[in-house]
Structure 1
Amino acid sequence: MKRVQTLTLTLFLSLMVSQAFAWGQLGHYLIGYMAEKQMKKSTKRKVEKILFPMSLGRSGTWMDEIRSDRSYDYATTWHYLNSKNGEYDPSTQEKTGDAYEAIQRIKAELKAGGLDPKTEAEKLKMLIHMVEDIHQPLHVGTGDDRGGNDVKIEFFGQATNLHALWDSGMIDRQGMSYTEIGEELFRRLTPEMREKYRSATMLDWLKEAVSYRPMVYNLPENNKISYQYMYDNYHIAEERMIAASVRLAQILEEIYP
């Protein structure tokens, strides 16, 4: 009986942890993979040297993994922000900070230089993760339902929540590796799309996220989701990951030209 209880607790905790992560490991890996394909060679060399032995794709999951280390509790709220209508209002954010403020601050610190190798690597991994996170629509939340974590749903018969569905559920459902998805999405990136994404401001990023809310929250009355919701919305997740890869490559080139 004790062994069964232990296994049940372990499964419960693993589900809770997986629902707290953003984009899931697959999403972070493939955004980094696509960004790497777009970066200038000089930028890629500098970034690889700082992150070694981690790859750019792998480093995108680091900020989720350090949640188990209490010494990084200060960054717990940096994965998301609140925005009602696409605005950034510091007074509505968590007192310990948010993704919008942290991205700008850490980007400036990395550009200024003078950091020791460990600090620089950690700040760079945080920046990569947050830029990727903020492109998941539910990481720009209303402030009312914890970014969809409180919206309980069934996804192909499995109990989960709306946030977890967008983090990983729909992506994992594809049954493909991050390189397979990354290659498929990279083929769709046109010069016009790249220019559009690169010319946007961070406030534009928030407006983009808010614009998708009607589709994201368009759930059936019984909150049981399957093929129709996937058909209507997975293309949004794909577009968001493409946009994140373009902007991540752009930011890294600005810091490490």
Structure 2
Amino acid sequence: MQIKKIIPFAFVIVALSLVSWGVVAHRSIGKIAENHLTPRAKIAVTNLLGAETMPLVSTYADDVRSAKEFSYTAPWHYVNLKQGLNYEQYVEALKADTGANVYNALLKMEKQLRDKNSSKADQVFALKFIIHLVGDLHQPFHVGRGEDKGGNDIKVKFRGRDTNMHSLWDSGLVEYNGFSFTEMATAFDNVSDDKIKKWQSDEVTVWLFESYQIATKLYAEAEESSDFDYTYYPNHSEIYKERMQKAGIRLAGFLNKIYQ
């Protein structure tokens, strides 16, 4: 009986680790964003979330996805377009894709949050998803290839342990240094004012294309060698750090613009 109980639990843990930035990453992004809200945006967010905070609701979209009534949101966490596109081609393909994906979901939730006729419950739902989706689209393998499920099917070793590319970039690298989300947010929230201004002025399509370009590079590295030793983390830590910084700073800018 014990074995039957343990196996499904372990399966759930593994499954969750494959679908999104890990809890530490999402909460760190939420905390960085919270630090950069304007007073007006901070009041609006607090009015919607009440006793909850941006870091704590940052995983809501993953938490509810397994529920039958929210199964339609599963494709909202990623977008897969063919490789080898330049920016103009990528934007054209992205905007031509009218299906459910992270780009269209973010725009939909933005519209719902801005709609003064939306109920408070609908606005809370939209806000929680925006907080999560901005984080997701900054994770390179959420903007990867459909044929390998965003790197999930690419098996690799990281410091001698079996994993896959998606899981490695979701949580393996993020959790490597053992930071809590508050420690990570404190360590990463040191971006210059010039960078903040630039990052917040970028279009959402730029955010996605950056992830797309990084994923392309990471795919090529994995094809060259799938056995990542102790050098992988120091060689890539600045990439994931900047993705998280950009996600937090841009999330704040996104909400500041809505509530300006």
TM-score between the two structures when normalised by the length of structure 2? 0.90
In structure 2, relative to structure 1, the CA distance for the partners of 1:100 and 1:152 (3 Å cut) is same
Asked whether the equivalents of residues 82 and 92 of structure 1 are also in contact (C-alpha less than 8 Å), the reply is no
Q: SS where residue 238 of structure 2 aligns? A: helix
- Asked whether the 8 Å contact 2:36–2:249 carries over to 1, the reply is yes
1:120 is displaced (CA, Å) by: 1.1
Out of 233, 236, 242, which is 2:236 matched to?
233
The residue correspondences of 1:51-200 to structure 2 (distance < 5 A) are 51-83=49-81, 84=83, 85=85, 86=87, 87-88=90-91, 89=93, 95=99, 97-187=100-190, 189-200=191-202
State whether residues 216 and 233 of structure 1, in contact with CA within 8 Å, keep that contact through their aligned partners in structure 2: no
Using the TM superposition, give the Cα deviation of residue 93 of structure 1 relative to its aligned residue in structure 2, in angstroms.
5.1
CA distance in 2, matches of 1:204, 1:221: 28
Match 2:48 to one of 47, 50, 58: 50
- Residue 5 of structure 2 aligns to which amino acid in structure 1? T
Asked whether the equivalents of residues 77 and 94 of structure 1 are also in contact (C-alpha less than 8 Å), the reply is: no
Cα shift at 1:222: 5.5
Amino acid of the residue matched to residue 54 of structure 1?
E
Among residues 202, 205, 216, which one is paired with 1:203 in the alignment? 205
For 1:78 and 1:159, how far apart are their aligned partners in 2? Answer: 28
Question: Residue 252 of structure 1 corresponds to which residue in structure 2?
Answer: 255
Counterpart check, 1:18 vs 2:21: no
Consecutive unaligned residues of structure 1, counting only runs of 5 or more, are: none
* Aligned-residue CA RMSD (Å): 1.9
Name the CA shift for 1:168/1:93 in 2 (closer, same or farther; >3 Å): farther
Q: Identify the range of structure 1 (113-122 vs 2-11) with the bigger mean alpha-carbon deviation.
A: 2-11
Please tell me whether the aligned partners of residues 82 and 93 of structure 1 are also in contact (alpha carbons under 8 angstroms). no
Task: Specify the alignment match of 1:6 in structure 2.
Answer: 5
5+ residue gaps, structure 2, are: none
- 1:25 Cα deviation (Å)? 0.4
Structure 1's 127 and 200: CA in aligned 2 closer, same or farther, altered over 3 A?
A: same
Structure 1: how far apart are the matches of 2:237 and 2:217? 10
After TM superposition, give the deviation of residue 207 of structure 1 in Å. Answer: 2.0
Residue 92 of structure 1: how far off its partner (Å): 7.9
Aligned residue pairs: how many? Answer: 253
How many angstroms apart in 2 are the aligned matches of 1:100 and 1:67? 17
CA distance in 2, matches of 1:23, 1:94: 25
| Separation of aligned partners in 1, 2:250 and 2:6 | 41
**Equivalent residue in structure 2 for 1:40, among 38, 41, 47:** 38
